[in-house]
Structure 1
Amino acid sequence: MAIEDMAFLIPVLPALAFLLTFFLGKKLPNGGAIIPIIAIFTSFIISLMITLNLLQNPGLVVSQSYNWFAILNVGVLIDPLAAVMLSMVTFVSLLIHIYAVGYMSHDKAQPRYFAETALFTAAMLGVILSDNILQFFICWELVGLCSYLLIGFWFEKPSAASAAKKAFLTTRVGDVMFLAGIILLFSDIFRIYNGSIPEGVYVLRFDEIFTHIPEIAALNTQIFGYEVSHLTIVTLLFFGGAVGKSGQFPLHVWLPDAMEGPTTVSALIHAATMVTAGVYLVARTFPMFIAAPHSLIIVAYLGAFTALFAATMGLVMNDIKRVLAFSTISQLGYMMLGLGMGAVIGVTAVGDSLFHLINHAFFKALLFLCAGSVIHAVGTQDIRQMGGVKKVMPITFITMLIASLALAGFGIPGTSIGVSGFFSKDPIIEAAYLFGESTENWLPYLFSIVAALLTSIYIFRLIFMTFTGKPRTNYGGHESPSVMTVPLMILGVLALVFGAITKTGFGKFLEETFANNFVNMDIHALAEIGKYHLASHGAGGEPLLILWMPVIVAVAGLLISYLIYGMRIIDMSSIVSRKNPVYKLLYNRYYQNSIFTQFLAVKVIYEGLALAGRAIDRGFDWTVNLIGHIFTEASDGLRVLQTGVVQNYATSVVTGVSLLIILVKLILEVF
């Protein structure tokens, strides 16, 4: 059997591991962790072998499709885009599961934990492998369900239960938009075929969708007096789904609260699985976005704003995991910005964004696992109560420092010297500069540069407050066991060198995603439909200062953090105060919780529905009371006639019959 024929096992094995661990985990050591570890390791090997085969011939992708019912199908698609995602998700998930053996060793609910994480991994792999948008959406929803279960893993804590519900409900907003986009897309294709779909055509398979892009783009509808392409509406609805899953403004509010789950869950959600699904959705449907007028511009602006917006909040967080949560939101903003830059650099944007996604998966998983190692050892998540941790946790300190350098993006432009984040984030910022040159819209570039400065400040603030100086409490820390530190070291090596060794070939490999035996799209022709003017040269030819600017701001951020939190030459007590309106605004996260939860959810939706319900209830009460009053008054009137005297009744009968006879006689004479 060829390795390609085993592709369906990639999500199936972790799904089977979920069942086995759920039912047998209590009878096995470590809650049955060995079952998902073996399953995910096997999935990784299959994914890696298929990826290596695909590297030799990117045009021959794995495509397996089977009829489901009517004009819908289930299928597997492994092209360059899916291949790199499969390899990353299975590898990072494998390391997190191994790490969790040590981290969750004292938890009584280990079987449930490993069963749920196995299902979570299977759902994400299902998203990646889907060859049609409906199957994609079904797996997408399963990812959302698993996130609810894992964020609320310690459901006995009210904060964890609340965070799980918040994540589930917030992402549902985006999911409804995504589903609406699928319905509109289906109706458009059905309309193009005049309601008669040829046999063997699966209308929601990606190759079928891409084939009809020009025809869908030609369909328009009136919105507020403007002609809007159906393709723009569909892509923006898809992007709405991506905004929810990938934590873009304003649907990012669930991500910081997702820290209520175990740290390993945070690493899984924030690095390898759920949050990357939204970026993958936009990348997978990129031919639709580049043919849709205005869509990529909206993606670029929202991504750049999210990168800056989240970075400002990361500056003031004191919970080590929440700092990393806002960092995740910010970096996801960079990925969306990278995809939005397709408006000027075409399909190269997919390679840039996915390159940052893969590198981010390595160093962000490392950051979260290092944070988990620290929390596991010192028993607190508050960085104000730490200090001096590097003396008792040298391996954790070194690996977290590497991850922090990768996040900040340290390197030397024009060379192969640099950490992974440098090689993936800088091309996105340079593309934003090219976008500004081409369109004179400089906000995405300015947002990305300022966000890079703030990123360096907040991550090194965390490093200095956690690992340097003297212990601020008697935490009595210790280095984590090898089952936890070995995954840290493996991820540390990848965060250090992966970007340098793959920077030349990664983008070229990803550019083959839309030119193979499954789809063969002319991206330049699609860009003309979308009215995007692609630059004649790609990013990288900018002035020397522009090439160095991301590194300059990264170094500046390090120096600022060192002076404030390392040398403590500035007394922060006057700045870090509830009396400081800026600090108060950032610490309260721009009052998003009050606005979204207390005002929109409670005041507008809950109380609005309650008010409407009361009005309807009162309307029903008034109607029922009115009917009752009418019948009561009528009965009172009729009751007067009921005297009980027989003579009265006889008189009434005689009078009535006489009148009836007279009336009949008159009618007969007239007619």
Structure 2
Amino acid sequence: MFSDYAAAIVLLPVLAFVLTLFLGKKLYSGGAPLPIAAIAGSFIISLGIFFEIYPGGVVQQSWPWFANLNIGILIDPLAVVMLLMVSFVSLLIHIYAVGYMAHDPAKPRYFAETSLFTAAMLAVVLSDNILQFFIAWEIVGVCSFLLIGFWYHKPSAAAAAKKAFLVTRVGDVLFLAGIVLLYVNMSELIAGRALTPESGNFILQFKTMFEAIPYIDSGQLTLITLLFFGGAIGKSGQFPLHGWLPDAMEGPTTVSALIHAATMVTAGVYLVARTFPMFVATPDSLVHGIPDSLLVVAIVGGFTALFAATMGLVMNDIKRVLAYSTVSQLGYMMLALGTAGAVIGAKAVGISMFHLISHAFFKALLFLCAGSVIHAVGTNDIREMGGLFGKMKITAITMLIAALALAGIGIPFINIGTAGFFSKDMIIEGAFEYGEITGGWGWVFYGFAILAALLTSIYIFRLWFMTFTGKPRSERRAHESPNIMTLPLMILAVFALFFGFSQSGFYPYLETNFELMGVEIAGHEGEALHPSAIIIMLPVIVGVLGIVISYMIYHRRMLDMSKIVSSENPLYKLLINRYYEPRLSADIIGVKLTHDVAAQSGEFVDRKIIDGLVIDNIISSTLFQVGEVIRKLQTGVVQNYAAITLLGVGLLILLLKIGGM
């Protein structure tokens, strides 16, 4: 039984981390075969468990830890699809990295850290309780810090690593506060016997958390879920904690692919999906019929999807374009949980997760194709590329497939299309249904989704046309990447093309997830909506329109962009400066908060309190006086010490006698 070896899904990459760290220098390619073999083992075990539990099984393993907490493994439909995606995509990225990192002297450290990174993400997915989830979540954050700053000798990489660590810590503190508040509420319920966990269940297990939902005060439940969502905002790069994600491009491209496709940023979406019954159960005081917490998720997700897409239009670093694309697509996933969750209940988790997994395939492919281009031409700037199609056909064609998937291109009604066509269209339709039900400003989310889809198509094909078509814009000599790099590209391209056809089985399977845990989630009551033909076709129409616009501007050069791409254009200036977020965060957080508040407060404590109070005044003088008294007792005469010892023993015997009476 593969389920008997579920713990090995995490333990194998951890073992590979230890061995690679200490023995990597003596092994082929810095020890790369060790994490590759370990992650392949994790994938095989995950696949075996999937076949064991499909269509309606769950793997639950638990061991007592301390007090009323536990360490445990939960593999249900939601977890098993994530395990398969994380292990499979990470495996392909590690294989690709053998070629990409071939000439880097720090290969052993790289493969050790990526192996631990993958293990931590797998541990997040496997966790059966929210505290263990948080611990693995924090290890993911530490690994991202190490990998973003992998080339630590570069000041920009070191700064990006610190920024990622500090910004995500904001969300982590909120997440931890939510866990503490939840623990306090559940402890009170158990003490008052309102909640009695079954034998073998522990207080912070997800099943016990869901059982407690009806008994937790609605205001407390809203606050807990919003604190959880604060953690998701930090990890998944949602506005306003998105700034670290584009700067994370300072690490190797393979690290970018891991962070943006298979690990880390997907953890925030997974957190909301995993605790979805709590979000649905919050009151609907703001909009009748729409849970408050889901409304906040929808607002943040919808705005982030559009906000990030606008910046993707003007970036010239090939990896930074893809980074803003990731932020935007994560916004889509949150939008799905917020809008579709309010409308159709548990099915929204399936819609969001389907886009998460399809996004993992085409976004990993986009980043690895970008790495292939950078490996060939030695620059990240798409303005110095051009004309690479003839020299890098495999990279160009696979990146075209990924771009079509990101743009959501397909043929409506007959259901033929890329993975993104199936996954993104479901999100946009969910936003449409939300608008139909809420009316008024509820249509804003649908507008966000459609406009972001148009901008997505424009910026990704701007990147493709500027990179692979036209005449070369520099003297750099390009060449196709070696087979060990192009093979993962071709495998990912197959999934980016055909994964969408699995939706007919995917949604029903994920819908059963919470039912298997004894939780029923109902959608909004009302008549079934039947969107018109134009509503169904509109996402594809704007996707094709985006391709046409990019083709005319960046391939045919039918529009002179010099007047638009100018520092005199206030809109372009705003976008290229990323809405001045980096400057604001540097000035306000870096200078005002760090220096003016933290540093000056530290100086005040050091000089006025510690130096003044401790050394010069009360504490110091008191200690000196006490020392003088004690010094007089230390006479150095042995007879005095013996007399005191006998007196103490006598008093002790007297007290024991009195106590015995």
Q: Which residue of 2 aligns with 1:453?
A: 454
Q: Which residue of 1 aligns with 2:132?
A: 135
Q: Which residue of 1 aligns with 2:513?
A: 513
Q: Which residue of 2 aligns with 1:494?
A: 495
Work out whether 1:268 is the aligned partner of 2:258: yes
Work out whether 1:432 is the aligned partner of 2:431: yes
Work out whether 1:102 is the aligned partner of 2:78: no
Q: 1:575 aligns with which of 553, 556, 564?
A: 564
- TM normalised by structure 2 equals 0.89
3-state secondary structure, aligned to 1:435:
helix
Question: Which amino acid is 2:12 matched to?
Answer: L
Structure 1 contact 343–534 (Cα < 8 Å) conserved: no
- What are the within-5 Å matches in structure 2 for residues 569-608 of structure 1? 569-608=558-597
Question: Which amino acid is 1:537 matched to?
Answer: A
1:12 Cα deviation (Å)? 0.6
Deviations 1:325-367 (A, max 9, x none): 0000000000000111201111110000000000000000000
Question: Which amino acid is 1:6 matched to?
Answer: Y
Question: Which amino acid is 1:214 matched to?
Answer: P
C-alpha change, 1:124 and 1:535, in structure 2 (3 Å) is farther
| Stretch deviating more after TM superposition (106-115 or 618-627) | 618-627
- What are the within-5 Å matches in structure 2 for residues 312-461 of structure 1? 312-341=310-339, 342-440=341-439, 441-461=442-462
Q: Distance in 1 between matches of 2:615 and 2:361?
A: 68
Q: Give the alignment's Cα RMSD to 1 decimal.
A: 1.8
Q: Which residue of 1 aligns with 2:467?
A: 466
3-state secondary structure, aligned to 1:389:
coil
Work out whether 1:186 is the aligned partner of 2:183: yes
- What are the within-5 Å matches in structure 2 for residues 619-630 of structure 1? none
3-state secondary structure, aligned to 1:75:
strand
Question: Which amino acid is 2:264 matched to?
Answer: M
C-alpha change, 1:36 and 1:623, in structure 2 (3 Å) is closer
3-state secondary structure, aligned to 1:366:
helix
C-alpha change, 1:464 and 1:439, in structure 2 (3 Å) is same
Equivalent residues, number: 604
1:618 Cα deviation (Å)? 7.2
Deviations 1:160-216 (A, max 9, x none): 011001000100000000000000000000010127877644100000000010101
Q: Distance in 2 between matches of 1:344 and 1:8?
A: 37
Structure 1 contact 71–200 (Cα < 8 Å) conserved: no
C-alpha change, 1:626 and 1:281, in structure 2 (3 Å) is closer
C-alpha change, 1:619 and 1:34, in structure 2 (3 Å) is closer
1:614 Cα deviation (Å)? 5.3
Structure 1 contact 133–205 (Cα < 8 Å) conserved: yes
Q: Answer with 1 or 2: which has the greater Rg.
A: 1
Question: Which amino acid is 1:147 matched to?
Answer: S
1:534 Cα deviation (Å)? 4.2
Structure 1 contact 345–535 (Cα < 8 Å) conserved: no
| Stretch deviating more after TM superposition (594-603 or 118-127) | 594-603
Structure 1 contact 283–339 (Cα < 8 Å) conserved: yes
- What are the within-5 Å matches in structure 2 for residues 524-539 of structure 1? 524=522, 533-537=524-528
Stretches of 4+ aligned residues off by more than 4 angstroms: 195-199, 613-628
Deviations 1:280-309 (A, max 9, x none): 000000000100130001001110000000
3-state secondary structure, aligned to 2:475:
coil
C-alpha change, 1:379 and 1:296, in structure 2 (3 Å) is same
Q: Distance in 1 between matches of 2:605 and 2:171?
A: 30
3-state secondary structure, aligned to 2:478:
coil
3-state secondary structure, aligned to 1:390:
coil
1:578 Cα deviation (Å)? 1.0
Q: Distance in 2 between matches of 1:37 and 1:3?
A: 20
Deviations 1:529-565 (A, max 9, x none): xxxx344437xx2111111110111011111101110
1:595 Cα deviation (Å)? 1.4
- What are the within-5 Å matches in structure 2 for residues 294-313 of structure 1? 294-313=292-311
Deviations 1:5-25 (A, max 9, x none): 111110110010000111110
3-state secondary structure, aligned to 2:157:
helix
3-state secondary structure, aligned to 1:69:
coil
Q: Distance in 2 between matches of 1:421 and 1:625?
A: 67
Q: 1:277 aligns with which of 263, 267, 280?
A: 267
Q: Distance in 2 between matches of 1:340 and 1:625?
A: 57
Structure 1 contact 409–420 (Cα < 8 Å) conserved: yes
1:613 Cα deviation (Å)? 4.5
Structure 1 contact 367–404 (Cα < 8 Å) conserved: yes
Q: Distance in 2 between matches of 1:30 and 1:167?
A: 29
Structure 1 contact 131–206 (Cα < 8 Å) conserved: yes
Deviations 1:619-638 (A, max 9, x none): 5589899989xx9xxxxxxx
Q: Which residue of 2 aligns with 1:230?
A: 220
C-alpha change, 1:623 and 1:394, in structure 2 (3 Å) is closer
- What are the within-5 Å matches in structure 2 for residues 151-190 of structure 1? 151-190=148-187
Q: Which residue of 2 aligns with 1:649?
A: none
Identity percentage of aligned residues: 65
Q: 1:559 aligns with which of 502, 523, 548?
A: 548
3-state secondary structure, aligned to 2:259:
helix
Q: Which residue of 2 aligns with 1:77?
A: 74
Structure 1 contact 153–261 (Cα < 8 Å) conserved: yes
1:370 Cα deviation (Å)? 0.2
Question: Which amino acid is 1:557 matched to?
Answer: G
1:147 Cα deviation (Å)? 0.3
3-state secondary structure, aligned to 2:52:
helix
1:448 Cα deviation (Å)? 0.7
Q: Which residue of 2 aligns with 1:7?
A: 6
1:601 Cα deviation (Å)? 3.2
3-state secondary structure, aligned to 1:503:
helix
Q: Which residue of 2 aligns with 1:643?
A: none
Q: Distance in 2 between matches of 1:113 and 1:510?
A: 35
3-state secondary structure, aligned to 1:106:
coil
1:451 Cα deviation (Å)? 0.3
Structure 1 gap ranges (5+):
221-228, 528-532, 632-671
- TM normalised by structure 1 equals 0.88
Q: Distance in 1 between matches of 2:584 and 2:156?
A: 19
Q: Which residue of 1 aligns with 2:521?
A: 523
Question: Which amino acid is 1:155 matched to?
Answer: Y
Q: Distance in 2 between matches of 1:17 and 1:537?
A: 51
3-state secondary structure, aligned to 2:333:
helix
Deviations 1:98-137 (A, max 9, x none): 0000000000000000000000000000000000001100
